[in-house]
Protein backbone atom coordinates (compact mmCIF):
# COMPACT_ATOMS: atom_id res chain seq x y z
CA UNK A 1 0.00 0.00 0.00
CA UNK A 2 1.34 3.44 -0.90
CA UNK A 3 0.86 6.56 1.23
CA UNK A 4 -0.39 8.56 -1.73
CA UNK A 5 -3.39 10.78 -1.05
CA UNK A 6 -6.28 11.64 -3.31
CA UNK A 7 -8.84 14.44 -3.44
CA UNK A 8 -12.35 13.07 -3.25
CA UNK A 9 -15.85 14.47 -2.74
CA UNK A 10 -17.79 12.78 0.05
CA UNK A 11 -21.48 12.92 0.90
CA UNK A 12 -21.84 11.89 4.54
CA UNK A 13 -25.53 12.76 4.74
CA UNK A 14 -27.76 13.43 1.75
CA UNK A 15 -29.12 16.95 1.31
CA UNK A 16 -28.41 20.31 -0.34
CA UNK A 17 -25.18 21.29 -2.11
CA UNK A 18 -23.44 21.69 1.26
CA UNK A 19 -23.57 17.89 1.52
CA UNK A 20 -20.71 17.82 -1.04
CA UNK A 21 -17.44 17.90 0.91
CA UNK A 22 -13.94 17.75 -0.63
CA UNK A 23 -11.53 15.70 1.51
CA UNK A 24 -8.10 14.03 1.26
CA UNK A 25 -7.78 10.31 1.80
CA UNK A 26 -5.56 7.38 0.84
CA UNK A 27 -5.59 6.37 -2.82
CA UNK A 28 -7.45 3.04 -3.15
CA UNK A 29 -5.69 0.07 -4.78
CA UNK A 30 -7.56 -1.96 -7.41
CA UNK A 31 -8.92 -5.35 -6.39
CA UNK A 32 -9.53 -8.30 -8.72
CA UNK A 33 -11.28 -7.19 -11.92
CA UNK A 34 -10.73 -3.52 -11.13
CA UNK A 35 -8.62 -0.72 -12.58
CA UNK A 36 -7.25 2.40 -10.93
CA UNK A 37 -7.93 5.46 -13.09
CA UNK A 38 -6.34 8.90 -12.71
CA UNK A 39 -9.01 11.30 -13.91
CA UNK A 40 -8.28 14.13 -16.29
CA UNK A 41 -11.95 15.15 -16.52
CA UNK A 42 -15.17 14.15 -14.78
CA UNK A 43 -18.65 14.34 -16.32
CA UNK A 44 -21.45 16.07 -14.43
CA UNK A 45 -24.93 14.62 -14.84
CA UNK A 46 -28.33 15.51 -13.46
CA UNK A 47 -28.55 12.06 -11.88
CA UNK A 48 -25.68 13.09 -9.56
CA UNK A 49 -28.06 15.55 -7.90
CA UNK A 50 -30.58 12.75 -7.25
CA UNK A 51 -27.98 10.77 -5.31
CA UNK A 52 -26.87 13.89 -3.42
CA UNK A 53 -30.42 14.70 -2.31
CA UNK A 54 -31.29 11.08 -1.55
CA UNK A 55 -34.01 10.84 -4.25
CA UNK A 56 -31.95 7.88 -5.52
CA UNK A 57 -30.37 5.80 -2.75
CA UNK A 58 -26.58 5.41 -2.85
CA UNK A 59 -25.48 1.89 -1.82
CA UNK A 60 -23.95 3.23 1.42
CA UNK A 61 -23.09 6.38 3.35
CA UNK A 62 -20.71 8.13 3.06
CA UNK A 63 -20.42 7.88 -0.71
CA UNK A 64 -18.72 9.70 -3.58
CA UNK A 65 -21.08 10.84 -6.35
CA UNK A 66 -20.36 10.77 -10.07
CA UNK A 67 -20.90 8.13 -12.75
CA UNK A 68 -18.71 9.39 -15.59
CA UNK A 69 -15.05 10.17 -16.09
CA UNK A 70 -12.06 10.03 -18.40
CA UNK A 71 -8.38 9.55 -17.67
CA UNK A 72 -5.47 7.16 -17.66
CA UNK A 73 -5.18 3.65 -16.24
CA UNK A 74 -2.58 3.81 -13.45
CA UNK A 75 -2.86 0.28 -11.97
CA UNK A 76 -4.69 -2.97 -12.67
CA UNK A 77 -6.08 -5.58 -10.30
CA UNK A 78 -5.72 -9.32 -10.72
CA UNK A 79 -7.42 -10.97 -13.66
CA UNK A 80 -7.93 -7.86 -15.80
CA UNK A 81 -7.32 -8.51 -19.47
CA UNK A 82 -7.47 -6.23 -22.50
CA UNK A 83 -6.20 -3.14 -20.67
CA UNK A 84 -2.69 -1.80 -19.97
CA UNK A 85 -1.37 0.75 -17.53
CA UNK A 86 -1.15 4.02 -19.47
CA UNK A 87 -4.27 3.38 -21.60
CA UNK A 88 -6.60 6.33 -22.14
CA UNK A 89 -10.09 5.32 -21.04
CA UNK A 90 -13.51 6.66 -20.12
CA UNK A 91 -16.57 5.21 -18.43
CA UNK A 92 -20.22 6.10 -18.05
CA UNK A 93 -22.86 4.70 -15.78
CA UNK A 94 -20.34 2.75 -13.70
CA UNK A 95 -20.55 2.53 -9.90
CA UNK A 96 -20.61 5.89 -8.13
CA UNK A 97 -17.27 7.50 -7.26
CA UNK A 98 -16.22 9.73 -10.17
CA UNK A 99 -15.90 12.96 -8.12
CA UNK A 100 -12.23 12.33 -7.29
CA UNK A 101 -8.82 12.76 -8.89
CA UNK A 102 -8.09 9.01 -8.69
CA UNK A 103 -10.50 6.10 -8.22
CA UNK A 104 -10.90 2.39 -8.74
CA UNK A 105 -13.61 1.16 -11.06
CA UNK A 106 -14.72 -2.18 -12.55
CA UNK A 107 -12.38 -2.73 -15.51
CA UNK A 108 -15.18 -4.12 -17.68
CA UNK A 109 -16.93 -0.72 -17.61
CA UNK A 110 -13.94 1.05 -19.18
CA UNK A 111 -14.08 2.09 -22.81
CA UNK A 112 -10.72 2.62 -24.58
CA UNK A 113 -10.58 6.12 -26.06
CA UNK A 114 -9.63 6.55 -29.71
CA UNK A 115 -6.93 9.17 -30.46
CA UNK A 116 -9.44 11.56 -32.01
CA UNK A 117 -11.62 11.78 -28.87
CA UNK A 118 -10.11 14.07 -26.21
CA UNK A 119 -10.47 13.37 -22.51
CA UNK A 120 -12.63 16.48 -22.02
CA UNK A 121 -14.89 15.44 -24.89
CA UNK A 122 -15.24 11.92 -23.51
CA UNK A 123 -16.14 13.17 -20.02
CA UNK A 124 -18.62 15.60 -21.53
CA UNK A 125 -20.31 13.25 -23.92
CA UNK A 126 -19.97 9.57 -23.01
CA UNK A 127 -22.88 9.13 -20.59
CA UNK A 128 -25.16 11.53 -22.43
CA UNK A 129 -24.08 10.23 -25.86
CA UNK A 130 -24.59 6.55 -25.00
CA UNK A 131 -28.01 7.58 -23.70
CA UNK A 132 -28.85 9.37 -26.95
CA UNK A 133 -27.61 6.33 -28.90
CA UNK A 134 -29.89 3.82 -27.20
CA UNK A 135 -32.89 6.17 -27.05
CA UNK A 136 -32.82 7.05 -30.76
CA UNK A 137 -31.65 3.71 -32.18
CA UNK A 138 -32.89 1.03 -29.80
CA UNK A 139 -35.70 2.21 -27.47
CA UNK A 140 -37.54 3.63 -30.46
CA UNK A 141 -35.90 3.40 -33.88
CA UNK A 142 -36.13 6.89 -35.36
CA UNK A 143 -36.52 6.90 -39.13
CA UNK A 144 -35.91 9.63 -41.69
CA UNK A 145 -38.94 11.82 -42.33
CA UNK A 146 -40.46 11.34 -38.88
CA UNK A 147 -41.14 14.23 -36.54
CA UNK A 148 -39.95 13.69 -32.97
CA UNK A 149 -40.38 15.71 -29.77
CA UNK A 150 -37.38 16.29 -27.46
CA UNK A 151 -37.86 18.02 -24.11
CA UNK A 152 -35.07 20.20 -22.63
CA UNK A 153 -33.48 20.36 -26.10
CA UNK A 154 -30.64 22.66 -25.00
CA UNK A 155 -29.57 20.38 -22.13
CA UNK A 156 -26.88 17.72 -22.00
CA UNK A 157 -28.81 14.72 -23.32
CA UNK A 158 -31.37 16.91 -25.11
CA UNK A 159 -28.76 18.68 -27.26
CA UNK A 160 -27.42 15.31 -28.42
CA UNK A 161 -30.92 14.00 -29.18
CA UNK A 162 -31.54 17.07 -31.35
CA UNK A 163 -28.28 16.64 -33.29
CA UNK A 164 -28.42 12.89 -33.72
CA UNK A 165 -32.16 12.91 -34.42
CA UNK A 166 -31.62 15.42 -37.23
CA UNK A 167 -28.74 13.35 -38.57
CA UNK A 168 -31.08 10.34 -38.75
CA UNK A 169 -33.30 12.44 -40.98
CA UNK A 170 -35.97 13.33 -38.43
CA UNK A 171 -37.57 16.72 -38.01
CA UNK A 172 -36.95 17.65 -34.38
CA UNK A 173 -39.33 19.72 -32.26
CA UNK A 174 -37.54 20.79 -29.06
CA UNK A 175 -38.88 22.34 -25.89
CA UNK A 176 -36.69 24.77 -23.92
CA UNK A 177 -36.99 27.03 -20.89
CA UNK A 178 -35.69 30.34 -22.31
CA UNK A 179 -35.02 32.33 -25.49
CA UNK A 180 -31.26 31.84 -25.08
CA UNK A 181 -31.78 28.08 -24.95
CA UNK A 182 -34.09 28.31 -27.97
CA UNK A 183 -31.24 29.75 -30.05
CA UNK A 184 -28.96 26.97 -28.88
CA UNK A 185 -31.46 24.18 -29.59
CA UNK A 186 -31.82 25.53 -33.12
CA UNK A 187 -28.05 25.34 -33.55
CA UNK A 188 -28.21 21.74 -32.33
CA UNK A 189 -30.60 20.92 -35.16
CA UNK A 190 -34.12 21.44 -33.83
CA UNK A 191 -36.24 22.91 -36.58
CA UNK A 192 -39.13 23.90 -34.31
CA UNK A 193 -38.88 25.28 -30.78
CA UNK A 194 -41.53 25.40 -28.05
CA UNK A 195 -40.98 27.61 -25.01
CA UNK A 196 -42.67 25.17 -22.66
CA UNK A 197 -42.98 27.54 -19.73
CA UNK A 198 -45.07 29.91 -21.87
CA UNK A 199 -46.82 27.82 -24.51
CA UNK A 200 -49.10 24.74 -24.53
CA UNK A 201 -46.87 21.94 -25.79
CA UNK A 202 -49.67 19.61 -27.05
CA UNK A 203 -51.35 22.50 -28.88
CA UNK A 204 -48.13 23.59 -30.58
CA UNK A 205 -47.21 20.00 -31.50
CA UNK A 206 -50.66 19.44 -33.05
CA UNK A 207 -50.30 22.72 -34.99
CA UNK A 208 -46.84 21.73 -36.23
CA UNK A 209 -47.95 18.24 -37.33
CA UNK A 210 -51.30 19.08 -38.97
CA UNK A 211 -53.07 17.50 -36.02
CA UNK A 212 -51.29 14.15 -36.32
CA UNK A 213 -49.03 14.28 -33.26
CA UNK A 214 -45.59 12.66 -33.08
CA UNK A 215 -44.68 8.95 -33.01
CA UNK A 216 -42.23 9.40 -30.12
CA UNK A 217 -41.63 11.83 -27.24
CA UNK A 218 -38.30 11.88 -25.40
CA UNK A 219 -39.19 13.26 -21.97
CA UNK A 220 -36.44 13.88 -19.40
CA UNK A 221 -38.36 16.53 -17.48
CA UNK A 222 -40.85 14.20 -15.77
CA UNK A 223 -43.47 15.60 -13.44
CA UNK A 224 -44.08 18.93 -15.22
CA UNK A 225 -44.34 17.51 -18.75
CA UNK A 226 -45.44 13.88 -18.47
CA UNK A 227 -49.21 14.21 -19.06
CA UNK A 228 -48.75 16.84 -21.79
CA UNK A 229 -46.29 14.54 -23.51
CA UNK A 230 -48.95 11.81 -23.78
CA UNK A 231 -51.18 14.37 -25.52
CA UNK A 232 -48.49 15.03 -28.14
CA UNK A 233 -48.41 11.42 -29.36
CA UNK A 234 -50.08 9.97 -32.43
CA UNK A 235 -52.08 6.73 -31.91
CA UNK A 236 -49.77 3.84 -30.90
CA UNK A 237 -47.00 6.37 -30.23
CA UNK A 238 -44.15 5.72 -27.82
CA UNK A 239 -43.73 7.74 -24.62
CA UNK A 240 -40.07 7.52 -23.57
CA UNK A 241 -39.89 8.84 -20.00
CA UNK A 242 -36.17 8.76 -19.31
CA UNK A 243 -35.68 11.39 -16.62
CA UNK A 244 -37.31 13.59 -14.01
CA UNK A 245 -35.46 16.92 -13.86
CA UNK A 246 -38.63 18.62 -12.55
CA UNK A 247 -39.54 15.83 -10.12
CA UNK A 248 -40.89 12.31 -10.04
CA UNK A 249 -43.82 11.35 -12.26
CA UNK A 250 -46.79 10.46 -10.01
CA UNK A 251 -48.33 6.96 -10.20
CA UNK A 252 -50.33 6.42 -13.37
CA UNK A 253 -53.60 4.63 -14.15
CA UNK A 254 -52.61 2.61 -17.23
CA UNK A 255 -56.11 3.08 -18.61
CA UNK A 256 -54.87 6.53 -19.68
CA UNK A 257 -52.67 4.83 -22.28
CA UNK A 258 -55.70 3.21 -23.92
CA UNK A 259 -57.82 6.37 -23.78
CA UNK A 260 -55.11 8.42 -25.46
CA UNK A 261 -54.66 6.00 -28.38
CA UNK A 262 -53.11 2.62 -27.46
CA UNK A 263 -49.89 4.33 -26.40
CA UNK A 264 -46.65 2.58 -25.43
CA UNK A 265 -44.79 3.76 -22.33
CA UNK A 266 -41.23 2.93 -21.33
CA UNK A 267 -38.94 4.10 -18.52
CA UNK A 268 -35.52 3.06 -19.84
CA UNK A 269 -32.09 3.29 -18.19
CA UNK A 270 -28.57 3.37 -19.64
CA UNK A 271 -27.60 0.52 -17.30
CA UNK A 272 -30.00 -1.92 -18.96
CA UNK A 273 -29.00 -0.84 -22.46
CA UNK A 274 -25.25 -1.30 -21.79
CA UNK A 275 -25.65 -4.35 -19.55
CA UNK A 276 -23.03 -6.51 -21.17
CA UNK A 277 -19.63 -5.40 -22.36
CA UNK A 278 -20.34 -6.11 -26.03
CA UNK A 279 -23.34 -3.73 -25.92
CA UNK A 280 -21.31 -1.09 -24.11
CA UNK A 281 -18.53 -1.22 -26.71
CA UNK A 282 -20.95 -1.28 -29.66
CA UNK A 283 -22.81 1.72 -28.30
CA UNK A 284 -19.51 3.59 -27.70
CA UNK A 285 -18.31 2.79 -31.23
CA UNK A 286 -21.57 4.14 -32.65
CA UNK A 287 -21.13 7.32 -30.60
CA UNK A 288 -17.48 7.82 -31.61
CA UNK A 289 -18.42 7.25 -35.27
CA UNK A 290 -21.21 9.83 -34.97
CA UNK A 291 -18.69 12.31 -33.47
CA UNK A 292 -16.18 11.54 -36.23
CA UNK A 293 -18.57 12.21 -39.09
CA UNK A 294 -19.87 15.37 -37.45
CA UNK A 295 -23.35 14.01 -36.67
CA UNK A 296 -22.91 14.95 -33.01
CA UNK A 297 -20.61 17.52 -31.44
CA UNK A 298 -20.05 17.84 -27.75
CA UNK A 299 -20.61 21.26 -26.27
CA UNK A 300 -18.95 21.97 -22.94
CA UNK A 301 -21.00 24.88 -21.64
CA UNK A 302 -19.36 24.95 -18.19
CA UNK A 303 -16.07 23.82 -16.65
CA UNK A 304 -15.57 23.76 -12.88
CA UNK A 305 -12.65 22.75 -10.66
CA UNK A 306 -13.44 19.71 -8.53
CA UNK A 307 -13.32 22.10 -5.56
CA UNK A 308 -16.19 24.10 -7.18
CA UNK A 309 -18.51 21.09 -7.23
CA UNK A 310 -21.13 22.81 -5.05
CA UNK A 311 -21.48 25.64 -7.57
CA UNK A 312 -21.71 23.11 -10.38
CA UNK A 313 -24.68 21.39 -8.69
CA UNK A 314 -26.27 24.75 -7.90
CA UNK A 315 -26.10 25.81 -11.56
CA UNK A 316 -27.42 22.48 -12.88
CA UNK A 317 -30.39 22.51 -10.54
CA UNK A 318 -31.15 26.19 -11.27
CA UNK A 319 -31.43 25.42 -15.04
CA UNK A 320 -28.47 27.74 -15.67
CA UNK A 321 -26.33 25.27 -17.60
CA UNK A 322 -26.07 24.85 -21.37
CA UNK A 323 -24.90 21.63 -23.04
CA UNK A 324 -22.56 19.54 -20.85
CA UNK A 325 -20.63 20.44 -17.70
CA UNK A 326 -17.32 18.91 -16.62
CA UNK A 327 -15.28 18.96 -13.42
CA UNK A 328 -11.49 19.21 -13.70
CA UNK A 329 -9.58 17.52 -10.86
Q: Is 269 in the site for ligand NAP (CB under 6 A)?
A: yes
Q: Is 149 in the site for ligand NAP (CB under 6 A)?
A: no
- Binding window for ligand NAP (CB under 6 A); candidates: 62-70, 95-103, 137-145, 175-183: 175-183
Name which of 37 and 92 has its Cβ closer to ligand NAP.
92
Using CB under 6 A, which of 65, 69, 129, 177 touches ligand NAP? Answer: 177
First to last CA, the chain: 23
Q: What distances in angstroms separate CA 188 from CA 146, 170, 205, 236, one per listed residue? A: 17, 13, 19, 28
3-state class (DSSP) for residue 114: coil
Q: Cis omega before residue 62 (within 30°)?
A: yes
Using CB under 6 A, which of 220, 229, 274, 284 touches ligand NAP? Answer: 220
Site string for ligand NAP, 115-144 (x = CB under 6 A): ------------xx--x-------------
Find the shortest distance in angstroms from Cβ 27 to ligand NAP: 28
Alpha helices in the chain (DSSP H): 46-53, 119-134, 156-167, 179-187, 201-208, 226-230, 255-259, 270-273, 277-292, 309-317
Q: Is 176 in the site for ligand NAP (CB under 6 A)?
A: yes
- Binding window for ligand NAP (CB under 6 A); candidates: 116-124, 163-171, 217-225, 256-264: 217-225
Q: Is 28 in the site for ligand NAP (CB under 6 A)?
A: no
Q: Is 187 in the site for ligand NAP (CB under 6 A)?
A: no
- Binding window for ligand NAP (CB under 6 A); candidates: 4-12, 16-24, 52-60, 149-157: 149-157
Name which of 11 and 270 has its Cβ closer to ligand NAP.
270
Using CB under 6 A, which of 8, 39, 40, 45 touches ligand NAP? Answer: 45
What are the start-end ranges of the E strands in the chain?
5-11, 20-26, 34-44, 68-76, 88-92, 102-106, 111-112, 147-150, 171-176, 192-195, 214-219, 233-241, 264-266, 300-305, 324-328
Whole-angstrom Cα distance, residue 158 to residue 220? 8
204, 228 contact by CB (below 8 A): no
CA angle 262, 172, 210 (to 5 degrees): 60
Find the shortest distance in angstroms from Cβ 185 to ligand NAP: 8
Which residues of the chain form contacts with ligand NAP (CB under 6 A)? 45-47, 127-128, 131, 152, 154-158, 176-177, 181, 220-221, 224, 242-246, 268-270, 317, 319, 321
Amino acid sequence: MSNAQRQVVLVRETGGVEALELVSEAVPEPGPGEAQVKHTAIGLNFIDTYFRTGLYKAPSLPFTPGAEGAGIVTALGAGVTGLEVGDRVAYAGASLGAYSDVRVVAADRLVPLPDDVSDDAAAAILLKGLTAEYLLRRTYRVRGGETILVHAGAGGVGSLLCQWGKHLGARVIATVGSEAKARLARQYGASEIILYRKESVPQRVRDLTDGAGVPVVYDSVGQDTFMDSLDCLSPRGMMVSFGQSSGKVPPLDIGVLSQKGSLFLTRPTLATYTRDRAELLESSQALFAAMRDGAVRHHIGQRYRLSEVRQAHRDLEARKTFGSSILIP
